[in-house]
Amino acid sequence: MRNNFLSKIFRNKYFLLVMQLITITTFFILISGSLYVGPGNNYKLTKILQHTNLPNLLVWSYWFSLIVIIAIFFGRFWCSICPMELVISIFNRFGLKKEPGKFIKSGWVITILYTIILIFGIHVFLIQWIPSRMALYMLSLLSIVIIVSLIWEKRTFCNYICPIGFLLKLYSLFSTIRIKNKNQEVCANCKTKDCISAKRHYNFMKRSCTSNVNPPDLKYQTDCILCGQCIKTCPHDNLKIGYSKPSLKKIANLNFSSSEIAFTLIIAGLVAWEILFKWEVARGIYLAPHYFISNLFNFTGTLYKIDKALLFFIIYPSVIFLIFSLLMKVLSKKSLKNCLGNITVSILPIIVVMHLLSAILIMIEHSVYIKLAVSDPIGLNTANAILNKEIIINKAELLPWLITLVCITLPVIGLIISYKIIKLRNNNKAQKSIALLTSFVYFALYEFSMIGWRFDLIEPFLKTCH
């Protein structure tokens, strides 16, 4: 019944187009509401303005959090209504339609771009704090999409360049929604193959798949962006969108490329930064090497920020990945790349679950600003009022016991899924043992930090250390 309902929606000629028109309109409204909004050189005001400017609050606290949550449970549904996909489908028709080269297809462009955004965009230029810089970032992204669409074929940007798309691709491994065929024989006997026909690639409506997958026979749903075009174009009405239990066996059999390993490593750093900073003790331990290096080399300004970002997003996760991978290599006699891939697949469920927790916590914590941001969308007056203590923000949690339960339970769920995947993976005993050890260390890191944060274990921890 639910499958039929979903298929009817996706088969509708105008449903996704209307959704994309709504998202692209929203995209430009968000830009117009933030383009000329900045705090000047007032750092304290900057930290507040990120929450009081409505477009900034919606993008960083709710949009990004929601697409992570949606990807985990429902696949790459965001991609199907993304305004960039609409832009691509328009400009593709007039472009050069060149095939992307090996380097673009390798996944390294996405990994490098995501790293640049995290280090320079987030940490140096503070695009998540300063509304005007967020608007420039969004306009830059739109420009890149148009240029790529005019040069390369099909969904080159979605498939090989979009950093959000790569993230959602990883997380959609655990989703419950996918494209299916109703009858395998109908697809096998189909003469026209409209769902993959090159003649239909650039149709505005009822176009064939431009994500380089075969819709009737999807081994993994991760490359499918759920645009529904194949459902519309099938002359036999033989494709549908429906629910499907995630296959841990398929995930266990994954062999990640070097770029996917590197991308997952960076995501691991991002998630650790978001979660471990909740507990003051973990934050202090995490920041100690950064303070030491910065003082030793007298880093200030931009260099100070770059050093911090490099430690968080590259060096810390690289050290953990390499320690366990080298240990696995020594004991199992496998190649380093094989071991890195094993470690990546093994801890991926914990990374995904902790990113889910981070997204939930961000939305809850920042919900206190929604009413203020709606009443003053630009947010400068509200930010100044908060800074001058004319407005007091009440950050008391609603149902704190429930939040504590979620914080402590989700890492356990991630560990259980990791354990099941490791058992299913075709590895020798040494590889499985090291993979389990790595997963447990990652689990313990997050679980202990969550317990410390939720039960305020600062003084007991310090007393234990003394």
Cα 257 from Cα 302, distance rounded (Å): 32
What are the tens digits of pLDDT across the range 6-40?
777 878 888 888 999 999 999 999 999 999 998 88
pLDDT of residue 449: 94
- Find out whether 244 and 176 touch, Cβ atoms under 8 Å: yes
d(CA 55, CA 114): 22
Tokens of 445: 């890191």
Longest alpha-carbon distance in the chain: 76
Q: Encode pLDDT of 397-409 as tens digits.
A: 778 999 999 999 9
User: Residue 233 in contact with residue 200, Cβ under 8 Å?
Assistant: yes
Q: What pLDDT does residue 1 have? A: 47
Mean pLDDT over the full length of the chain: 91
Nearest to 23 by CA among 84, 76, 77: 84
Q: How far is CA 301 from CA 255, 273, 306, 379, in A?
A: 41, 20, 9, 26
Residue 465 CA to residue 311 CA, distance in Å, equals: 25
What is the pLDDT, as a whole number, of residue 262? Answer: 96
Domain boundaries, the chain: 1-246, 256-375+399-465
Residue 216's pLDDT is 81
pTM of this structure: 0.93
Spatial separation of the C-alpha atoms in residues 374 and 362, rounded to whole Å: 18
Q: Is the pLDDT score of 91 beyond 90?
A: yes
The alpha carbon dihedral of 134, 137, 138, 139 has a sign of positive
- State the pLDDT at residue 460: 60
Instruction: Determine the number of helices (DSSP H) and then strands (DSSP E) in the chain.
Output: 25, 2
pLDDT per position as a tens digit, 424-433: 998 899 999 9
Q: Measure the CA–CA gap between 331 and 326, rounded to whole angstroms.
A: 9
Tell me the average pLDDT across 371-379: 96
Which amino acid appears at position 153 of this protein? E
Residue 105 pLDDT class (50, 70, 90 cuts): very high
Q: Distance (Å, rounded) from C-alpha 379 to C-alpha 391?
A: 13
Neighbours of 317 (CB within 10 A): 24
